[in-house]
């Protein structure tokens, strides 16, 4: 089944997204920006894990690399360099994706998961050790993006930039998925030998998947640094990698809307919960139980994730179905 | 077209393919038969380069196949199907057919990612080509169905259709009619005959269904314990005492020869 996002729906979504920061309090604009960065990281991971079947438990490493490249660049050259730092962070991080591609050529699923886990751990250790560069515990203060020398209003500017990139990169991901690339990814995921017999070069397409995935995640990292205004090594730990992985499993593996739903859900859920539960002690306990419980419930009752469950439910309601599937 | 010369494959102490030599000529349909474990699928895996031989030579269309990788074979015009179904279960019938012509897509990464006209035009043209093939097989209604939900016989048919998408010079079919009903077998037989005649396509196929193989093939090669036991026309092979013995045992050969039962 194809869930393509068609013209009118793009426009509808775009209008709402652009209006939101002017309607919501600043704190929620900030949270939505972070959720937007997470959408890009989840998209990147879903391309690799959901579509191409290459499990990564170390994507926080790519988030960190993108974040530090962009942060170091704007911190030393000024906020006006943000526009160059962002794509550069994406491209360089994309190329570092090839580090994981090498083990992926030789290792099966579980072993690759361990190798990527190691990659994530190694990146965070390196960042903590090279404190000359990363200013380990205090972190790097990231300037506000500027046009020329005029700084923008961080909160709203970063929101709109993030939203714009989410639209652009969702569209790119959609182009990739519904092309020979996406088909080759799925072929490699489901039957490597048959894929090869069809003329699909495993090394080439695994390389594409890793570079593309790392590129998306690197851009997410660069955005993250500039949204928060500070980048600290301790943020990019195993927990973050697992969080990203949970997003695509909850939202729906190998679906583009699933990455968006999963990222929004897991990014905003804790914030919504904070509105209800004001005591910090209770909050930690309730969030832990909710998060774990949700994962279990989704895995048991919604094998195709939240998005998959919505699409299935929509089969019974033709109007909903038209919205989700477009046919 | 395909020349196999003195080909051997050793797995530890087992010689799965033992000094095998034969040819498949242009436009010819050749059957590869033999008891279980005779080395038929190993031979297919050697030809499609999933395995490398211990010794020997494989030449296809005047090119040395041993210099090519598994993923480069299709481009030479040699496509195989799989005994246990090489279709991609979570892709639609149409997408499976499109993968069949994967190497012929020429759009590069940026043209695809940015949805440039070249990439879109190419995708549309390939889709039309796949739809035309589905129409000729009268299964165009299934184009957006997921392969995993289709009946076995239909899946086998689609796998052959997918192999045809790359306009090959030769097909390697690993048990194309195993587990099919006789009506489905008849359909596959007609399909293979039709494409072989229309496109002067060579076919090398493995199957255990003797009447299917005997009716369809121009020539038959019998493998037993990794060696070529006999080759010739279906009639010659059926009369060959060594073949009868390999299949039915010594006693049966005796019965056939003396004409008693």
Q: Give the residue among A214, A232, A15 at the shortest CA–CA distance from A142.
A: A232
A201 inside 8 A of chain B by CB: yes
Question: CB-CB: which of A181, A199, A202 is closest to B112?
Answer: A181
A176: closest chain B residue by CA? B113
Neighboring chain A residues of B50 at a CB cutoff of 8 Å? 193, 196-197
Tokens, residue B145? 């169905």
Tell me, what DSSP letter sits at residue B58?
E
What mean pLDDT, rounded, does chain A reach?
Answer: 90
- C-alpha span between A67 and A63 (Å, rounded): 6
A325 inside 8 A of chain B by CB: no
Residue A138 backbone dihedrals phi, psi, to 5 degrees? -75, -35
User: Residue A276 class from Cβ within 10 Å (0-12 exposed, 13-18 middle, 19+ buried)?
Assistant: exposed
If one counts every other C-beta atom within 10 angstroms of the C-beta of residue B21, the result is 13
Q: In the prediction, which pLDDT does B7 show?
A: 96
Chains A, B: CB pairs < 8 Å: 91
Q: In the prediction, which pLDDT does A323 show?
A: 62
Residues B135-187 have pLDDT tens digits of 988 999 999 999 998 998 899 999 999 999 989 999 999 999 988 899 999 99
CB B161 within 8 A of CB B97: yes
Q: In the prediction, which pLDDT does A5 show?
A: 55
Residues A283-307 have pLDDT tens digits of 888 988 999 999 899 989 998 899 9
Q: What is the DSSP string of A236-304?
A: SSHHHHHHHHHHHHHH-TT-HHHHHHHHHHHHHHHHHHHHH---HHHHHHHHHHHHHHHHHHHHHH-TT
| Four-residue CA torsion sign, A91, A125, A205, A182 | negative
Neighboring chain B residues of A208 at a CB cutoff of 8 Å? 109
> Chain B, 50-109: which have a CB under 8 Å from a chain A CB?
50, 69-75, 79-80, 82, 86-91, 95, 98-100, 102-103, 105, 107, 109
Q: What is the residue whose two structure tokens read 């030579």? A: B57
The ipTM of this complex is: 0.86
Q: In the prediction, which pLDDT does A104 show?
A: 81
B92: closest chain A residue by CA? A1
Q: Give the residue among B30, B163, B36, B11 at the shortest CA–CA distance from B100.
A: B163
Residues B228-249 have pLDDT tens digits of 999 999 999 988 888 888 876 6
Q: In the prediction, which pLDDT does A1 show?
A: 39
Q: What is the DSSP string of B201-246?
A: -EEEEE-S-HHHHHHH-SEEEEEETTEEEEEE-HHHHHH-HHHHHH
Neighboring chain B residues of A171 at a CB cutoff of 8 Å? 115
> Chain A, 116-145: which have a CB under 8 Å from a chain B CB?
none
If one counts every other C-beta atom within 10 angstroms of the C-beta of residue A242, the result is 15
Crossing angle of helices A82-106 and A202-228, in 10° steps, is 140
Residues whose CB falls within 8 Å of the CB of residue B46, separated by 6 or more in sequence, listed in order = B7, B9, B17, B52, B53, B58
Whether A186 and B69 lie within 8 Å, measured CB to CB: no
Tokens, residue A198? 């069809």
Question: CB-CB: which of A191, A199, A254 is closest to B102?
Answer: A199
Residues whose CB falls within 8 Å of the CB of residue A51, separated by 6 or more in sequence, listed in order = A177, A182, A185, A186, A189, A209, A254
Q: In the prediction, which pLDDT does A139 show?
A: 87
Neighboring chain A residues of B130 at a CB cutoff of 8 Å? none
A191: closest chain B residue by CA? B88
pLDDT per residue rounded down to tens, chain A (327 residues): 344 556 677 788 889 999 999 999 999 999 999 999 999 999 999 999 999 999 999 999 999 999 999 999 999 999 999 999 999 999 999 999 998 888 888 887 788 999 999 999 999 899 988 877 777 778 899 999 999 888 888 999 999 999 999 999 999 999 999 999 999 999 999 999 999 999 999 999 999 999 999 999 999 999 999 999 999 888 899 999 999 999 999 999 999 999 999 999 999 999 999 988 888 888 888 988 999 999 899 989 998 899 988 888 877 776 666 665 554
Mutate to test the interface with B, among A193, A199, A213 (most CBs of B within 10 A): A199
Regions of chain B where pLDDT drops below 50 = 260-261
Q: In the prediction, which pLDDT does B261 show?
A: 45
- C-alpha span between A86 and A272 (Å, rounded): 30
- C-alpha span between B4 and A64 (Å, rounded): 54
Strands B29-33 and B219-224, how do they pair? parallel
Helix spans in B79-143 (H): 93-100, 109-113, 117-136
CB A171 within 8 A of CB B74: no
Question: CB-CB: which of A1, A184, A193 is closest to B102?
Answer: A184
Tell me, what DSSP letter sits at residue A142?
P
Mutate to test the interface with A, among B65, B71, B96, B167 (most CBs of A within 10 A): B71
Residues whose CB falls within 8 Å of the CB of residue A241, separated by 6 or more in sequence, listed in order = A56, A57, A58, A59, A60, A61, A117, A120
Q: In the prediction, which pLDDT does A3 show?
A: 47
A7 inside 8 A of chain B by CB: no
């Amino acid at each position: 089944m194809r869930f393509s996002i068609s013209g009118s729906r793009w426009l509808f979504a775009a209008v709402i997204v652009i209006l939101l920061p002017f309607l919501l309090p600043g704190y929620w604009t900030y949270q939505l920006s972070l959720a937007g960065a997470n959408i890009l990281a989840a998209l990147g991971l879903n391309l690799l894990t959901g579509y191409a079947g290459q499990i990564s438990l170390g994507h926080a490493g790519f988030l960190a690399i993108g974040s530090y490249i962009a942060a170091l660049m704007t911190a030393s050259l000024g906020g006006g360099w943000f526009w160059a730092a962002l794509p550069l962070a994406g491209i360089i991080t994309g190329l570092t994706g090839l580090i994981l591609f090498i083990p992926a050529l030789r290792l099966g699923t579980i072993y690759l998961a361990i190798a990527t886990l190691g990659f994530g751990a190694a990146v965070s250790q390196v960042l903590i050790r090279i404190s000359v560069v990363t200013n380990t515990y205090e972190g790097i203060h990231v300037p506000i993006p500027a046009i020329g020398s005029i700084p923008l209003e961080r909160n709203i500017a970063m929101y709109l930039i993030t939203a714009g990139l989410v639209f652009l990169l969702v569209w790119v991901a959609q182009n990739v998925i519904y092309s020979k690339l996406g088909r080759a990814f799925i072929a490699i995921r489901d039957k490597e030998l048959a894929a090869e017999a069809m003329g699909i070069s495993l090394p080439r397409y695994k390389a594409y998947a890793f570079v593309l995935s790392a590129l998306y995640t690197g851009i997410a990292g660069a955005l993250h640094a500039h949204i928060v205004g500070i980048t600290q090594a301790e943020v990019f730990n195993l927990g973050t990698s697992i969080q990203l992985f949970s997003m695509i499993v909850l939202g729906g593996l190998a679906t583009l809307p699933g990455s968006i739903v999963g990222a929004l859900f897991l990014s905003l859920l804790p914030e919504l919960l904070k509105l209800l539960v004001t005591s910090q002690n209770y909050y930690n306990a309730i969030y832990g139980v909710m998060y774990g419980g949700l994962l279990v419930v989704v895995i048991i009752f919604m094998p195709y994730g939240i998005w998959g469950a919505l699409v299935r439910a929509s089969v019974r309601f033709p109007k909903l179905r038209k919205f989700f599937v477009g046919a | 077209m395909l020349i196999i010369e003195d080909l051997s494959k050793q797995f530890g102490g087992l010689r799965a393919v033992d000094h095998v030599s034969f040819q498949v000529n242009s436009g010819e349909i050749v059957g590869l038969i033999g008891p279980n474990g005779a080395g038929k699928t190993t031979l297919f895996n050697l030809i499609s380069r999933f395995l490398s031989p211990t010794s020997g030579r494989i030449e296809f269309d005047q090119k040395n196949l041993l210099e090519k990788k598994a993923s480069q074979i299709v481009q030479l015009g040699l496509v195989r199907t799989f005994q246990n179904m090489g279709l991609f279960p979570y892709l639609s019938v149409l997408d499976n057919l499109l993968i069949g012509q994967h190497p012929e897509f020429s759009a590069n990464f940026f043209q695809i990612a940015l949805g440039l006209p070249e990439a879109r035009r190419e995708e549309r043209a390939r889709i039309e080509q796949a739809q035309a093939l589905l129409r000729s097989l009268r299964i165009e209604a299934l184009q957006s169905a997921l392969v995993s939900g289709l009946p076995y016989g239909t899946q086998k048919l689609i796998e052959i259709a997918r192999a045809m998408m790359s306009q090959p010079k030769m097909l390697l079919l690993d048990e194309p009619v195993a587990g099919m009903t006789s009506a489905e077998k008849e359909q596959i037989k007609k399909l293979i005959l039709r494409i072989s005649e229309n496109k002067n396509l060579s076919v090398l196929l493995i199957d255990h269904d003797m009447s299917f193989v005997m009716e369809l093939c121009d020539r038959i090669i019998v493998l037993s314990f990794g060696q070529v036991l006999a080759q010739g026309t279906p009639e010659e092979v059926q009369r060959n005492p060594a073949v009868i013995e390999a299949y039915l045992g010594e006693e049966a050969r005796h019965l056939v020869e003396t004409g008693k039962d």
